[in-house]
Structure 1
Amino acid sequence: MSSIPRLPDELTVAHVAGIIAASMVVIRLLCPAVITYIMAGQLKDTETASTWTLASASLVSSIWPTLLRTDSARSGGGVRTTIMVACKAIPLLGLMCAIAGVVTPLGLGEEPTALAPRTATFEYVKDDSVYRLGTSPRGKHPLSRLCNGEHLGGSAVVGPCPYSNTEVVYVDNPDRSGFRVELPNGYNTSVPQEPREIFSSGISGSTVSSFFDIEWRQVTRQTSPSFNITELAVGMFRPLDTLTLQDQYRLVEGLIIDAKAGGIGFRNHTVPVALGRGATWEEDILFIEPSTACVNTNLTLDFEMISKSDKISNTVGDLVLTDRGGFSQLNTTLPTLESVDGQTDPDLQQRAYTAAWLNNAVTMLYLNVTNEKNKPVKGMKSFSYLDSAPGKTFPMPVAAYSRERYEGLRLSTEFGNYLRLGAEAPSLSRGALNYSNPFNISKADFTDIPSICAGTTYRDRANISNIYVACGLLRGAPERVDGGDPMLFEKGSKWSSPLYTCASSLRATIKTVHFSVNGTGIAGLNVLRVAPKTYAADGSDAPLWGLEDWGLRLDQFSPIWGLVSPEMAKKPNVTSVRKPHFNLIGTSIEAGLPSLLNLEDTQSDNLAGASFAQTVMNTVFKVVAEASDADTWGVWPTDLKGLGNLSMFRRWQALSQDSALVPQIINLMWTNIAASAVVGTRGVLGEVNSGINPAGPIPVRPIGNRITYDVRYGIPAALLLSWLGVIVVAAVCCSTCCGGGRTGFAELRRRIQQVSVGRVFTTFLHPEESTLTMSAKQWAQENGKRPIMVDAFASNASKLYTGSATLAIRAVEFLNRRAI
């Protein structure tokens, strides 16, 4: 049986109740004992019969007979067993009652609980963090949109956007030196009402944000000479905070940030008011989240740390590429990517595997580990020989004055970058590199891998099937392999970095977010849990996602998307799909890259929902790339590589050693940047600053208290109740079965009168006037005031003195003689 736990250092109401109960038990014992002590001192040898009766009841029932071991506390001899058991049980039950009265309340507790749902009034809650301080005022910068036309002569030119009345005229120059663009009526950058109605039609009355509720967090104005625009609202970027180490849901101005798995939800934060102790409720929220799959190439980059000198700026020596099965155990069958609907299954795992296979195969050709078809002998099959084995190393070049830092993580769209093809003259890690490169592998042979993996280029149509996928080579944070301090890059230490290929896509989805509020400000608003919204097995109630489809290419415009109603889905130039998720459209291939996020450049327009997610992912694959771009990027405004931030390095190091966890690195990087880039402007109250299209009534559950109990504290009470049950059963049995049915209140009254001290005395002394069966009222009237002197003489205990009614007697002998 579990022991009763001790009281905690901090007392609760239940513990105080137990202490009070214990105090009352002590008082219950102490007060009668003190009173009877005083009463005993007030009694005289001669008192009336009623006085002796009343005093004896109090004296015998007090604790003094037990403490002083008087006659009534001793069983003596000749006592009938049943009577002795009953007499002993009474104080034991009293003790159990005292224990139960003290211990039982200790198990009481209370916890907050949600009460019945009710409607509530919501109001905006301000975020006091840097995210609000870094957010431009809403409503002052209108949405703006720019688009490109056809590529004439290989150059991108101005083009009208869909739904726009912009007229663009291309005029050839008279000298045939090219052409010029004329805008007779100027360039209209506004977003018309028609696309707003179409691509917001599926969110009416809900808390789900639309495409147009996603805005750049920071907005400025600039000129656009190529579009002949003197002032245009455009997005800008400045990193606000680092979230990759928090591993929690965080609420900031306009966003719900999932720093656990990656992703951001769009919500202008509001809370229910006038609910006293707070409330819980749930809302459906639009999330955009990255989805990544990574494949281990089974290759590692291993190196030793060396000291810097005046002649060499790098700190890495003995850099080698180690075959961990990536060469020697390569499946020689060329993988293929099936042509599938990108909205059904992006198949990121197969994309990443294809990229890994191509990366390893081309590297093997460069290192002459194997051969390609028809080389070196015509008719020779690919992989006819294999000059590698698990554990074999291949020295890699290290640039003499490279800014490359192997102490951190690296992610790049440049596959085979460890070979440094086309880079500056290397300072060799050991010996001289003597790779014959018999198949003339160059940097260009690796450049097609991202396109093959992504499957979509800037020349493809912007339709619902051509989803965004970014692919790259990830060099994990190095792990120390010589048994030394895993955090210390000391001279002579040896390290190993795994190489992975990763494919990332982006999707919009709806999740149910469970909120609670208990306090003021955004600090009092909490996310209890986030769960994907569930739908019917046949998907009939899944969201209907729409995309504008004008037959344009991805380098001409970024299409508007969003939740649409079935009626709007039938509109011209709108394609739709009913799915739980919507994979965003776009391309990550260099020629089609949207502007990257940095401190120098602004975005081209102010329509964040069309391109922010893709732009952020392109930034992730760029800012963690090699540091030959350090003049522009360095460690970027935020140290995403873990070069200077030890906590960041430790987190990446833990994730880098497990291929199942590696995708989190990219997902969290994307989330970290995206949180600073955009803000959601819709909440329960509708669109911020306008209140247009508010959500319907949101049921909330106010917080109340629920009584709890720790059953361990109820053990004494349970035992007491079981004893009570036994006693009740015994009483019933005695009333109906025992003693010929004599047990009852009349019999009980007679037995009490038989042991009433005053009545026994008067009946013995005045038998003609007092009996043991006369009523209490009659006895009190006729005998209660008779004076009785009780004395004891050791020499002659049975001698009777008359005159003043003096008595020295043994009650048991008297009762036996009277045959009562």
Structure 2
Amino acid sequence: MLTVGQVSGLIAGASIVVQYILPLALVVILINYVGSQNNAVTWSIVNRTISTTIWPHLLRADSVNARYGSRPVRVISWVMTITALLLVPSSVLAPLGLSEEIVPTGSRRVEFAYAQDTSSWGRVTMPRPELAFGRLCETGLNINCPGQYQGVYMNETSEGVWESVSTDDDSTINSSIPLNYTNMFYSATSNQGNTVSGLFDIQYRRWHLDRLDLYDKGAMYAQGDFRFIENLIPQEAILLKEGLIIDMTDTPGIGFRNHTVPVGLEFGATWSEDLTWIEPVTQCVDTNLSIEVNFAEGADSFSTNHTYFIVDRGAWIDLDMDELETRPWNDNQTLDLFGRAYKAARMSNVLAAASLNISLPLDSSAETLPKIEISEDMAYDNPTLFSYQDLDTLVIHELAGFEGTLDEFSISNTSDIAANHEPSYPDGYVKLLALNYTAVTNICRGYYYLDDTSIDRRANNISYPAVDCGFILGPGVLTSGESFSPDTYTGRSTYQRKMYVCSTGMRASIKTVDFYYNETSTQLSSLGVSRIAEKTYLNDTSKPLWAVEHSYERRMWFDPLWGLVNDSYEMMEGFYTQRSGHLWLPMSPHLVLSLGEAQGIGTLAAASSFIRHLSNLYGGIGIGERDYSGKFEYSMVERIRPLFENETAASQVPSLIMTDGLAANLVGTKTSLSDSGAPWPASLAADSPANGFPQQLRVSPNTRVIRYDIRFAIPGLILLGIFAFALAWAITILVLYPVILRTLQNTYNQTSAGRLAASLLKHGSANANRPTGQWVKDDGKLLISFGHIDRTGGDYFCRVVGSALDAESEKERMAGRDGSLGD
């Protein structure tokens, strides 16, 4: 679409074309009819008319030949030519620098109103149930949550059958949130105008109701529900959906916001808000192992032969069996995801070497091993890694070996590494030994104790962030150089798939989000995000205070509460706090006990949902509910295939999958318009009259401005400089020599074609300085003929052939004779 400046430039260009071409055409017409005999005035007019066009330059006439002209004349003539040439580009280019923009102005308060999402995301989001917030904890003998009274004890009446034993008449599983906990997690986010979401503002997008006699004496309670909506990964953009800002670029994450927009503004507005942000953060490490698949079309049958290889790209350099021993991770809230993935990758490579009968360490002269062919039995037992049918897809899975996923490979307890294993290092620190992939995974997760049950023995607290680990296998890349052209088809092709080991955690923070809105009505589709940035803090004391529920020194089966609190709760009993720009979300036993659930029990989505999605990321039971392989969605393959070029880009893949699932599961109910302290989940309709909406917030309204790119004015500025210099010089001459105007008039009159010819032909008998009016009455009426103008030519150059009065009398005489002939 053309801009106003471009249209103006085109108009100016067209005007210049007309300005130069039209006089050329008119002069041609004039010369055709002017003839060779006219009075002196006419010849002056003809000369002036031709001189005002570019015909003299085109015809290289006498008046433009400056070879023998005086220096002042030559200089001024060239200056006039240059300025005439500059006038063309300056007239065309000058308007091109004009542009119209919508820009923000100074901030002021305007009204905001709720912007409904009319897409499937808005329709699938259920109304908030008017039921109190609740949580359910503990699986075992004592079923109750921290801070709650009452409770129920369980007895095993027969094998696998548990019955509750009431401790008194009021005994029940109390799912309510204690008031002091509620006040605590509202304390930092409840002030008017605060856009940051707290524990209770992050909610499930969908619900279902349930009732159980053990819970709240049989009262009805709500639980989160889960349903995928659409795959957002191929879109690679920042998306706004009901209750969320979803970043599907190279920094995946979700921000919680119940969307409202300014109303009553002609050109919209821009503004910034601080929002609670959750990022699934992943670090992947290249194992330097690839799976290669060779295809060969059968010559004598309709079958295709498939051969599988493991390609070593340096996976076993500097590795030995001692790599399987390590200290537990003690990185706490300084979470080293890359270090965990790197350690897990090296351990996995040692186990892979053992399963493939590769002796470590390698010979010092060997950097890589030849390709290792996989037997048909091994390929058949492990279709996850060795499948020609799903070659062009993504595999994301728990750590496992090449020999199969059901019978997991394990180094024997009688091996040298196991027999010589010491339980601790000389400094007394525990020494962990990974003899199988489950142990490698648990070490990567941060376990400080390993046993056959794979139970996490750690207590819940802020020091143990939730981490899960697995591997990803990229879509196959054709390496044989074959194309799909019939000229190059050989019936043989080779594909390779890179394998990465990854570790993923979840980071909560506050980010500053810049919004823009360009509508006057409440349309969510017109709301956009221009920037997402980490919130900046003046110093450490200005950073937010995070609280995480702990289980003291004992392991407890519950999802810990976490969130922002104000300073008065820094020493709250039952919680650990830290002041920092972000918080790595705490671990939960449901990281390994979620049984594929995407939703949690109770209504506290912030406490349960993130852990359950993380537990399903690397091949959990529930992963099959949504296919991220790209098998049925080629746009997914297009998005993820380029990411497997290196480990940094590949790290986006698990985070994108996590972000997509969390977006479908969760919704933000907090806006700056919200009142806090609701005992039940807040309504999504932020402009509800019951809450006194709409209210006013401070934004920068947009206005229309005209901008100019000075580069397009350069020819015009040069022309302006010449103009200013010439004008100043001319004014100076006029002031110093006022008589110059009389001289100018005499010069022009005496050099005009008609006066000059008449004066010369009459031998200068008349006064050369006669006024124009007097000259027109006298010599101006002389008929002058030029003998060499037309094609016929003559034997004279110029002569007087009469006066205008004689010509008129002759015309009248001829007209009378014509009339008499007609009679």
Q: Give TM-score scaled by structure 2 length.
A: 0.75
Q: Unaligned 5+ residue runs, structure 1?
A: 1-9, 150-155, 309-313, 372-381, 425-434, 624-628, 737-742, 807-820
Q: How far off is 1:253 after superposition? A: 1.0
Q: Which residue of 2 aligns with 1:752?
A: 745
Is 2:236 the partner of 1:247? yes
Is 2:11 the partner of 1:20? yes
- Correspondences of 1:350-499 after superposition (within 5 Å): 350-370=339-359, 390-391=369-370, 393=372, 395=374, 397-398=377-378, 404=384, 406=387, 407=391, 408-416=393-401, 418-420=403-405, 422=407, 439=415, 445-456=436-447, 458-484=456-482, 493-499=493-499
Q: How far off is 1:563 after superposition? A: 1.3
Residue type of the partner of 1:12? Answer: T
For 2:289 and 2:330, the matched residues in 1 are separated by 30
Q: Which residue of 1 aligns with 2:184?
A: 198
Residue type of the partner of 1:673? Answer: G
Match of 1:221 among 198, 209, 212: 209
Q: How far off is 1:668 after superposition? A: 0.9
Distance 1:387 1:555, change over 3 A: farther
Deviations 1:753-807 (A, max 9, x none): 4654699999x99x9998949xx7xx97x998778632347989899999x999x
Note if contact 2:309-2:371 (Cα within 8 Å) is conserved in structure 1: no
Deviations 1:549-603 (A, max 9, x none): 353856432122111111232333332111111010114676x5335346xxx63
What secondary structure sits across from 2:11 in the alignment? helix
Q: How far off is 1:613 after superposition? A: 1.0
Q: How far off is 1:105 after superposition? A: 2.3
What secondary structure sits across from 2:228 in the alignment? coil
Residue type of the partner of 1:605? Answer: G
Q: How far off is 1:146 after superposition? A: 0.9
Match of 2:134 among 134, 138, 144: 144
Q: Which residue of 2 aligns with 1:558?
A: 559
Q: Which residue of 1 aligns with 2:820?
A: none
For 2:311 and 2:54, the matched residues in 1 are separated by 91
What secondary structure sits across from 2:403 in the alignment? helix
Is 2:502 the partner of 1:513? no
Distance 1:619 1:315, change over 3 A: farther
Moved more, 648-657 or 567-576: 648-657
Q: How far off is 1:447 after superposition? A: 2.7
Q: Which residue of 2 aligns with 1:236?
A: 225
Q: How far off is 1:606 after superposition? A: 1.5
Q: Which residue of 2 aligns with 1:349?
A: 338
Residue type of the partner of 2:463? Answer: S
Residue type of the partner of 2:372? Answer: T
Q: Which residue of 2 aligns with 1:649?
A: 637
Residue type of the partner of 2:206? Answer: Q
Q: Which residue of 2 aligns with 1:740?
A: none
Distance 1:90 1:394, change over 3 A: closer
Note if contact 1:518-1:524 (Cα within 8 Å) is conserved in structure 2: yes
- Correspondences of 1:71-150 after superposition (within 5 Å): 73=63, 80-83=70-73, 85-86=75-76, 90=80, 93-94=83-84, 96-98=86-88, 100-148=90-138
For 1:46 and 1:690, the matched residues in 2 are separated by 89
Moved more, 208-217 or 743-752: 743-752
Residue type of the partner of 1:240? Answer: I
Q: How far off is 1:370 after superposition? A: 4.3
What secondary structure sits across from 2:341 in the alignment? helix
What secondary structure sits across from 1:500 in the alignment? strand
Q: How far off is 1:265 after superposition? A: 0.9
Moved more, 447-456 or 295-304: 295-304
For 1:683 and 1:297, the matched residues in 2 are separated by 45
For 1:97 and 1:473, the matched residues in 2 are separated by 68
Residue type of the partner of 1:279? Answer: A
Match of 1:267 among 257, 275, 289: 257
Note if contact 2:277-2:511 (Cα within 8 Å) is conserved in structure 1: yes
Deviations 1:733-753 (A, max 9, x none): 8679xxxxxx62322224414
Match of 2:531 among 529, 532, 542: 529
Residue type of the partner of 1:351? Answer: R
Deviations 1:6-48 (A, max 9, x none): xxxx54322332343345446656489969969x98999789x
For 1:174 and 1:409, the matched residues in 2 are separated by 46
Moved more, 458-467 or 501-510: 458-467
What secondary structure sits across from 1:208 in the alignment? coil
Q: Which residue of 1 aligns with 2:610?
A: 613
Note if contact 1:280-1:703 (Cα within 8 Å) is conserved in structure 2: no
What secondary structure sits across from 2:117 in the alignment? coil
Distance 1:83 1:790, change over 3 A: farther
Distance 1:55 1:527, change over 3 A: same
Q: How far off is 1:307 after superposition? A: 9.7
For 2:406 and 2:378, the matched residues in 1 are separated by 11
For 1:557 and 1:222, the matched residues in 2 are separated by 20
Note if contact 1:199-1:560 (Cα within 8 Å) is conserved in structure 2: no
For 1:759 and 1:399, the matched residues in 2 are separated by 109
Match of 2:283 among 257, 271, 293: 293
For 1:476 and 1:139, the matched residues in 2 are separated by 42
Is 2:275 the partner of 1:276? no
Deviations 1:168-207 (A, max 9, x none): 45679899x9873327334332334432321232223321
Q: How far off is 1:465 after superposition? A: 0.7
Residue type of the partner of 2:202? Answer: I
For 1:78 and 1:304, the matched residues in 2 are separated by 86
Distance 1:787 1:339, change over 3 A: closer
Q: How far off is 1:262 after superposition? A: 1.6
Q: How far off is 1:216 after superposition? A: 0.9
Q: Which residue of 2 aligns with 1:663?
A: 651
Note if contact 2:44-2:755 (Cα within 8 Å) is conserved in structure 1: no
Q: Which residue of 1 aligns with 2:548?
A: 547
Q: How far off is 1:705 after superposition? A: 2.9
Q: How far off is 1:325 after superposition? A: 3.6
For 2:491 and 2:603, the matched residues in 1 are separated by 50
Q: How far off is 1:663 after superposition? A: 1.6
Q: How far off is 1:241 after superposition? A: 0.6
For 1:126 and 1:412, the matched residues in 2 are separated by 38
Deviations 1:231-260 (A, max 9, x none): 321111111111222221111111111111
Q: Which residue of 1 aligns with 2:722?
A: 723
Q: Give TM-score scaled by structure 1 length.
A: 0.75
What secondary structure sits across from 2:181 in the alignment? helix
Q: How far off is 1:617 after superposition? A: 1.1
Aligned residues: 734
For 1:85 and 1:514, the matched residues in 2 are separated by 59
What secondary structure sits across from 1:460 in the alignment? coil
Deviations 1:280-330 (A, max 9, x none): 22221111111122223333444446899xxxxx99954454554434541
For 1:172 and 1:420, the matched residues in 2 are separated by 34
